Amino acid sequence: MRLVWYETAWDDYLYWQSQGKKMLRKLNKLITDVRRHPDTGLGKPERLKGDLAGCYSRRIDQEHRLVYRVNGDTIEILQCRGHYAD
């Protein structure tokens, strides 16, 4: 599956690159798992509702979530820092 990053999500990813390697490794592991199993797997995938209907969320840690949408063979990363629209 192909990855497409929203601009703010890419900024989030660059932020994690400047922080400790632990969070970046966890995020990369989640992204790899999303590519294999978009709606199941690591990070307790949760289908979102409301404004984010059609998207999924996975826990990076207690505070931060990976939010993405699957569109055909493309995974759109909406955010990877904060909790939903924070």
Per-residue confidence (pLDDT) for residue 84, from 0 to 100: 65
Catalytic residue of the set 7, 37, 46, 63: 46
- Residue 7 inside a domain? The answer is yes
Number of domains in the chain: 1
Q: Decide if 46 is catalytic.
A: yes
Q: Which residue segment(s) compose the domain that 23 sits in?
A: 2-79
- Residue 71 inside a domain? The answer is yes
CATH of the domain at 37: 3.30.2310.20
CB neighbour class for 5 (10 Å; exposed up to 12, middle 13-18, buried from 19): middle
Per-residue confidence (pLDDT) for residue 80, from 0 to 100: 96
- Residue 86 inside a domain? The answer is no
Q: Are 66 and 76 within 8 A, CB to CB? A: no
Q: What are the Cα distances from residue 2, in Å, to 8, 65, 81?
A: 18, 20, 21
- Residue 85 inside a domain? The answer is no
Per-residue confidence (pLDDT) for residue 83, from 0 to 100: 84
Per-residue confidence (pLDDT) for residue 1, from 0 to 100: 86
Q: Decide if 64 is catalytic.
A: no
- Residue 84 inside a domain? The answer is no
pLDDT in tens, 18-73: 998 999 999 999 999 999 999 999 999 999 999 999 999 999 999 999 999 999 99
CB atoms within 10 A of CB 56: 22
β-partners of residue 71 are 74
Per-residue confidence (pLDDT) for residue 8, from 0 to 100: 96
